[in-house]
A and B are shown apart, each in its own frame.
Chain A
Amino acid sequence: MPDRNEILNELKNRYKDEIVSFYDKSPRRVYIEIKSESIVNIASYIFKELKARFNVASAVDARSHIEILYHFTLEYLDLLISLRVKLDRENPTIKSLTSVFKGSNWIEREMYELMGINFEGHPNLKRLLLSDKWPEGVYPLRCDYKEWDNNAIRDRGV
């Protein structure tokens, strides 16, 4: 069984130029920041060669830019690799991972709908969660989300 450091070093020098920063936080957590173009081949390398399990992708609105973290669990090593990708805030686009594994289909649709990131090559990028009356272009999970529904009641006892 290949041990933890071998795998990480092998990953590091295989994608030397695409990795921006490598943060080894603890024996179980590794955060790797990569360029947004190289997400598909790094993700497929981790998923296929390292036999990792795709856990979830979480999009974060960090006010100056939008970050996506793809989390992969390697059960046999008890290690969790998080690939961090930074996208600009106005028009965040990235390639879709549905070609690599089917599990990311719904996760990307949710990020498209709640955070406003569009994924190139996604089979059916449609609204996944909100009702049809939700206005286009309003993304609730963004920091600058304002309440658009003026007959909503928000105080107690009413």
Chain B
Amino acid sequence: MSIRLNALLKSPWVFHVSTGSCNNCDIEVLDCLTPRFDIERFGMVLAPSIKHADVLLVTGSGNRKSMERVKKLYEQAPKPIVVVAIGECACSRGIFIHSYNCPVPLDKVIPVDVYIPGCPPKPEAIIAGVVKLIQKVKEKTKNNA
């Protein structure tokens, strides 16, 4: 499986979903697309729909309404998908852990591959997180291929 994933991660298409976030992390994701941190040099483009996406960027503390949509999105996504949780709220609901509308953290709903903490994480931290993930997948393919 990770051979296909390795091929996909040559130029990963990114789909961003926000589940009840304060839109700081969403804007840091958009900052990565703008001239200063341009991630299109690595081939990363914001995919218009989940069907074309290889990487699913999830931000936000996951309130009840959004969690159903995230589950649906994860099922619709093509299967060698990589889920990246960006920001404290996506990792563990951060400061909203006792909110009556955010019952469970994200990784109880969908399996998460990389967690990028930071409130909001710097765009460099997001890029570094994805680069770390790509290297990990490369090693996995190398030692079992």
- Let me know if A23 is at the binding interface, CB within 8 A: no
Residues of B in contact (CB 8 Å), total 12
A131: interface (CB < 8 Å):
yes
Q: Does A121 contact B (CB under 8 A)?
A: no
Contacting pair A153 B104 (CB below 8 A)? yes
**What mask results when residues 80 to 118 of chain B are scored 1 for a CB within 8 Å of chain A, else 0?**
000000000000100001101101110010000000000
A64-82 at interface with B (beta carbon < 8 Å): none
Question: Which of A38-46, A47-55, A94-102, A144-152 contacts its partner?
Answer: A144-152
Query: Is A1 engaged at the interface, CB distance under 8 Å to the other chain?
Result: no
A62 within 8 A of B: no
Q: Is the interface of A mostly helix, strand, loop or mixed?
A: loop
B104, A152: Cβ atoms closer than 8 Å: yes
Chosen A-B contacts, 12 in total, with CB atoms closer than 8 Å, are A130-B101, A131-B101, A134-B64, A145-B100, A151-B103, A152-B103, A153-B104, A153-B105, A153-B108, A156-B92, A156-B97, A158-B105
Binding site for B on A (CB under 8 A): 130-131, 133-134, 140, 145, 147, 149, 151-154, 156, 158
